[in-house]
Amino acid sequence: MPTTTTTTTNSKTNNRIDTSVAEAFFASLTEQEIKFQTSYWSALQPINDTERFQRALFAYTSVHTSWKSNITAYSLIKDWWTWINQWDILDAKLRQSGAGLYNNRVRFIKDFSIKYWSDPSFYHKADQESWATYRNRIEDNILGLGMAKSSFFIEMLYPTTAEITCLDTHLFQLYGLDQTKNAKMYQDIEAHWVRMCFEYNVPCYVARCIYWDRKQGYKDSRYWSYVLEEGDFSQEIQYQ
């Protein structure tokens, strides 16, 4: 059985992280959950520049809104060729979605779109880069996605291999912390999450999906991730 600890302390902030609930979650993971979610997300890994761009759009539409509004907004703008370089159309689609933050979302997506399509390869992880260095490079070069949402973007690009995680308010709470008050603890929490994933042999993103899906009362992610599915995913996928 994996050996775990129950608390850790950040010397810079003098805050203690309660890891016991997170460790109980990892101990509860089943082989069935891990196998299904890993297989599913592996099949959903983007394979071209358009799909990678669409994952970024999903990250942008997830900022400060509900997961249902995230789906609605993304569904309206995923066909990016209908609004690219026509920012008034993008604005209208986002306002139709009801996701909020319209002016900033348009500004951020416009900035990202111009940068992305000028050099899509910039958003690939280099072989020599660590995952943290890659995440920091992405975060430093785009507007509107902080560390958490830059991590989310990368998770969706590399769903079964990324060794970082998007720490939202729910994961902060899992560790007994408040995202708004304890933001400096991000990398300490992430380090523990990644270590636990290695110990339990589960991809970091897959573990987070399982946690979130359970919290929402679902066995898998398809209640929201169906909007990312293309082609072969039109057939029914059974949870086994």
Question: Per residue in 154-179, pLDDT tens?
Answer: 999 999 999 999 999 999 999 999 98
Q: What's the whole-number mean pLDDT along residues 188-195?
A: 97
Long-range Cβ contacts of 75-81 (<8 Å, 24+ apart)? 75/227, 77/109, 78/54, 78/227, 80/50, 80/53, 80/54, 80/113
Q: Taking the model in full, what pTM does it have?
A: 0.90
From 31, 27, 36, 24, select the one nearest 218 (Cα to Cα): 36
Residues contacting 235, CB < 8 A, separation 6+? none
Alpha helix stretches (DSSP H) within the chain: 20-28, 31-43, 49-61, 67-77, 87-97, 102-118, 131-141, 147-157, 169-174, 186-200, 204-216, 222-225
Whether 131 has a pLDDT exceeding 60, the answer reads yes
Q: What's the whole-number mean pLDDT along residues 127-152?
A: 96
Whether 236 has a pLDDT exceeding 90, the answer reads no
Strand, helix or coil at 124? coil
Average pLDDT of the chain is 91
Q: Radius of gyration over alpha carbons of the chain, in Å? A: 18
C-alpha 158/C-alpha 41 separation (Å) is 9
Q: What's the whole-number mean pLDDT along residues 126-152?
A: 96
What is the residue type of 113? S
Whether 72 has a pLDDT exceeding 90, the answer reads yes
Whether 5 has a pLDDT exceeding 70, the answer reads no
> What pLDDT digit, counting tens, does each position of 93-124 carry?
999 999 999 999 999 999 999 999 999 999 99
State the pLDDT at residue 232. 64
Q: What's the whole-number mean pLDDT along residues 73-84?
A: 97
Q: Are 219 and 34 in contact (CB under 8 A)?
A: no
Q: Are 101 and 149 in contact (CB under 8 A)?
A: no
Whether 55 has a pLDDT exceeding 90, the answer reads yes
Please say whether the dihedral angle defined by the alpha carbons of residues 5, 206, 178 and 28, taken in this order, is positive or negative. Answer: negative
